[in-house]
Amino acid sequence: MDLTLRQPFLQGYGFKLNSRGIRIAEVNTTASREVFRSRLLDLVASVLNLYWGVVSASDELKGRQRALDFTQKFHEDTQKEIAAGAIPRVELPRAEAELAKRRQDVVIARQNLGQQAIALKAVLVRTEDPALEAAEIIPLDQIQVPDADNLPPLRQLVATAMAKRPDVLVTKYRDQTAEMALSGTTNPLLPSLSGSVQTYNRGVAGTPQNTGGGSPNPYFTGGYGSALGQIFRRNFPNNIAGLSFSASLANRVAQGDYGIDQLQFVQSQLSGQRDVNSIIVEADQKKFSSGIATFNEIIVDQRALAAAQISEVTAMGSYARARVSLDQTLGETLEQNHISLDEGLNGRVARESQLPAIAQTPPANP
């Protein structure tokens, strides 16, 4: 039986060094959860943008349809005026051209709404469903633009983003694992000094045989049991202790690995700082206040009225997407939309969807 104990004192020494793989794995486990949260956040933001795109497209179609109705009434009135001789017949082609233009606008708006709805269905359902493909999406939410967005100061926005954005946390975890891995390259630069202690025992037993006229020693008479007894009683111990030292005059490979890891670590830190700077810039850009522009001149024709309505719809859609982008920048998309990370991990939403209050309120009698 042989027992040997070896202990390094320089190269390969220390719990921190030898446990770095376990600690890196633990940090990576936490980082993986944040990576998933980042993807879930981006997915929710993408769905929100697509949904508000459907809302904007629906509002645009309604505006185009109102413009068409007004133009249709104008065309009919023009025909009546011409029949009565109040205006020359030359005005009829202009009214017909305007009517054709409004009809074309309605067709384009309807196609745009259909494309927006298809894109939204594609991210909501991953399986083929003919009933869903044929279903019409009717948005029940309306884009509400407050009189003023009381956003906190920029410094507070940046602090919120640094605390909640998953990509920032992943960067921090990456820096932690890079720092842990550095010990694996700095340690080989040290000389090797190790001590060892060894103890071993031997047992001998067997069938006695007479040789040279003498009788054998009865202590060695027996089988495996006798031999094992000699070993565990340590009848014939052997003890050895040793100390070894070695050092490389020019450990270029270890030095090169150390230099590369140092550069990668610094690069990781610079990357993290770059992300922080990017967040500051994004937060500064998203510190906006929105409102509806007014026209300096009185709207005198139907074309100007239609353009104003479409501009309003576009501005409302831009505001909704800007709010989604701001929440995404601050890392608050899930909280603002009442989405749980655990529900995302389980792939199942435990709460029932609630219709907005505007859809639950019955219409008033005209």
Burial category of 157 from C-beta neighbours within 10 Å (exposed 0-12, middle 13-18, buried 19 and up): buried
Shared domain for 230 and 334, answered yes or no, is no
Instruction: State mean pLDDT over 19-36.
Output: 89
pLDDT of residue 107: 94
Domain of residue 185, residue span = 2-191+247-360
Neighbours of 46 (CB within 10 A): 15
> Which residues, at least 6 apart from 158, have a Cβ–Cβ distance to it below 8 Å?
279, 280, 283
Are both 183 and 198 inside the same structural domain?
no
Residue 289 lies in a domain: yes
Q: What is the pLDDT of residue 19?
A: 85
> How far, in Å, CA of 40 to CA of 28, rounded?
18
What pLDDT is stored for residue 111 in this prediction? 92
Q: Could you tell me if 201 and 230 are in contact, meaning their C-beta atoms sit under 8 angstroms apart?
A: yes
345 in Cβ contact with 36 (< 8 Å): yes
Classify residue 322: in a domain, yes or no.
yes
**365 found inside a domain:** no
Q: Is the pLDDT reported for residue 300 higher than 50? A: no
Token code pair at residue 33: 């959860």
Alpha carbon of residue 128 to chain centroid = 27
Average pLDDT rounded to a whole number, residues 269-284:
52
Beta-carbon count within 10 A of 106 CB: 18
Amino acid code (one letter) for 19: S
First and final C-alpha spacing in the chain: 101
Choose among 272, 254, 274, 268: nearest CA to 179.
268
Alpha helices per DSSP H over the chain = 15-18, 20-83, 91-124, 130-134, 154-164, 166-186, 224-232, 252-286, 302-330, 333-336, 341-346, 357-360
Residue 306: phi and psi, rounded to 5, are -65, -40
Residue 20 and residue 161 in one domain: yes
Q: Measured between alpha carbons, how far is 328 from 322 in angstroms, rounded to an integer? A: 10
Structure tokens that stand for 139 in this block? 């948005």
229 and 181 share one domain: no
- pLDDT single digits (tens) 241-254: 988 887 766 655 55
Query: Is residue 366 one of the residues assigned to a domain?
Result: no
- In this structure, the answer to whether residues 68 and 161 fall within a common structural domain is yes
- Cα–Cα distance for residue pair 63/109, rounded to 1 Å: 9
Q: 43-58: per-residue pLDDT in tens?
A: 888 999 999 999 999 9
Q: Are residues 200 and 325 in the same domain?
A: no
Kindly state whether residues 31 and 139 are assigned to the same domain.
Answer: yes
Q: Please, is 331 exposed, middle or buried when counting C-beta atoms within 10 Å of its C-beta (0-12, 13-18, 19+)?
A: buried
Q: For residue 80, what are its two tokens?
A: 């009546």
Q: Rounded mean pLDDT of the chain?
A: 77
Question: What gap in Å lies between CA 226 and CA 270, rounded to an integer?
Answer: 69
Q: What are phi and psi of 200, to 5 degrees?
A: -145, 155
For the chain, the residue count is 366
| C-alpha 35: how far from chain center | 5
In this prediction, residue 288 has a pLDDT band, given cuts at 50, 70 and 90, of very low
Distances (CA, A) of 151 to 202, 328, 329: 82, 15, 14
The answer to the question of residue 143 being in a domain is yes
pLDDT of 272 over the 70 cut: no
One-letter amino acid for residue 21 of the chain: G
Distance separating alpha carbons of residues 38 and 36, to the nearest angstrom: 5
Residue type, 76: E
Identify whether residues 129 and 209 lie together within a single domain.
no
Same domain, 312 and 344: yes
Q: Do 157 and 170 fall into the same domain? A: yes
Total of domains in the chain: 2
pLDDT digits (tens, 9 = 90+) for 177-194: 888 877 777 777 778 888
